[in-house]
Amino acid sequence: MAKTGPIIVLDPGKERTKGTEAIFMNITAAKTVASLVQSTLGPKGMDKMLINKLGVVSMTNDGVTILKDIGIEHPAAKMIVEVSKTLESTAGDGTTSSVIFSAALLDKAEKMIKKGFHPTVIIKGFKIAEEKALEVLNDRATDVKVGTPAGREILKKAAMTSITGKAPDVHKEHLAEVCVKAAEIVEKRGFVNVRSDVLEIVELNRRMEETEVLEGIALSTNSLNKNAPSRIENPKIAVLNAEIEVHKTKAKSKMVVGSPEERNRILENEIQNMLDVAKQIADTGANVIFSTKMVKPVVLEYFDKRGIYVSRPIEEKDAEHVSYATGAKIIKNVREISSEDLGEAKLMEQEVKNGVGKTFIRDAKNSKVATIIVRGETLQHADSVSTCINDALWVVKSIIEDGKVVAGGGASEMEVALALRAYAPTIGGYEQRVVAAYADAIEELPKTIIKNGGLDVIDLTIALRAAHTKDKNAGVNVFTGKVVDMEKEGVIDPLRVKLNTIKSATEASVMILRIDDVLRAKYTREMPDVKPEHMATSYSGKAPPKMDDRR
């Protein structure tokens, strides 16, 4: 019988890690990600200094910002980051808690696997515990009567809770008021569209407490023409994303003129063509023009004589905002504009202070929009304010839409942990050990808040557990170092944030525990094999010159 050679099933150029070794490797990567943001959790969380490739320095304690900018390479670590990003897009807050909780779950799983637990048993136990945790949170949640003075006060307290630790305490009440007011402006039938209806512009060299919210669109621009009216009621708005100029042919060609008079006639004809286009725009009834391109002086003069407001060139994103709010179509071919393409609002006005101009569009026809003017002394300060306002806006949005809140300061997590410990013995089998471990993992969140506050973790954790036998809202005040009623202290979180934190952390840990084999292509710097006849065509299809022919 003839001998056969070795049968190669897997690519020998790949590195393979399998079994518990693969699971432990991925768990270590996830725990490393958590260690990067763990110290930022809580009102006394520390900041991280991030320096990009251009040398620009930024300081933040926002979990999403840190995870986006540090450059994660390990695939399992990337999974943790991606799951946390989904939390940011659905709840707007809780990213850091989600990452820390994921790492805590995986740490407990690692210890159980070393004791002989199969990953499938752990996954089943995690799912059982997740279901019970969500049930406990829903039972312990407090209803909010949105639209009442008491409900508005809860919205403000929740916004302040989100801002605490991200901005100076002296400004958090003012910033919270800005967020609540912005949400009230754009709220429609119990829904708040933060992404589209709340706009933001940044002004530097101003104090942080001067940050304000305005009803309508505010643009960092003013009129290009000197005689434009500063106030227009019921404006007809045209949004242009094209230059007003002579139509050019696609073919490149040159024109030869025989005399100065002929040249002047050509120029006059071009000017007349531009004026015809300007007249076409004016004939639609437009009296306000926003353009992303510069308007030429001859056209500007035509509009100026007719009292038509023409803005300085705006960014395309601002043009999209104006289009969305007013219903105006963005025109890319000015020769096709019609009256149906115009947007409407109740008022357009502009103001110029200290050489800085702004244009306001109020009561737009298509959608109610709010603009937050973020002010800071430096770009770094303004970025910090922008980040905490965005988080607080999502918190307010969640409460308005769901109408439910829970106590913060580690109160809700401790309540879940105690409920899971009481529930675990009723399950039976190996899963009860997993549910108990899940309870220990979720308890890591209040422990981390205590630790970052510089307080005694053991003493306060014991005190917190004892307090929860009487008060479901008991949490840790890291400023006083005492266990108090968080609801009375005004430390409030949206129920949505807590629910999504548990869901995303559990899902991330389950995804990693399911992986028992990792195949990685080896990275090599060696050049691929190239045959000599192929190299001969590397010089514009010709053979390279011989050594004897080179000079």
Which residues on neighbouring strands pair with residue 361, listed in sequence order?
217, 348
Annotated catalytic residue, options 60, 65, 95, 221: 95
Q: Tell me whether residue 93 is one of the annotated catalytic residues.
A: no
478 contacts: CB under 8 Å, gap ≥ 6 = 42, 43, 44, 409, 449, 450, 452, 453, 455
Cβ atoms < 10 Å from Cβ of 275: 15
3 state DSSP class of 64: helix
Map 370-431 to HEC letters.
Answer: EEEEEEECCHHHHHHHHHHHHHHHHHHHHHHHHCEEEECCCHHHHHHHHHHHHHHHHCCCCH
How far apart (Å, rounded) are the C-alpha atoms in residues 136 and 144?
A: 18
Gyration radius of the chain's alpha carbons: 31
What is the total residue count of the chain? Answer: 551
How does DSSP assign 319-350, residue by residue? HHHHHHHH-PPEES-GGG--GGG-EEEEEEEE
Burial profile 427-460: b = 16 or more Cβ within 10 angstroms, e = fewer: beeebbbbbbbbbbbbbbbbbbbbbbbebeeeeb
Say which residue the tokens 């009230």 belong to: 184
Question: Which of 197, 341, 383, 391 does the annotation list as catalytic?
Answer: 391
Is 426 an annotated catalytic residue?
Answer: no
**Orientation of helix 411-423 relative to helix 495-513, angle to 10°:** 50
Outline where DSSP puts E strands in 97-152.
142-143
Q: CA nearest 502: which of 121, 102, 110, 158? A: 102
Check 60, 65, 96, 387 and give the catalytic one: 96
| Catalytic residue status for 391 | yes
Query: Is 448 one of the catalytic residues?
Result: no
* Rounded-to-integer distance, Cα 78 and Cα 67, Å: 9
Catalytically annotated residue among 60, 62, 211, 383 = 62
Count the helices and strands in the chain (H runs, E runs): 19, 20
Report which of 308, 316, 317 is spatially closest to residue 238, judged by C-alpha positions. 308
What are the residue numbers of the active site? 62, 95-96, 391
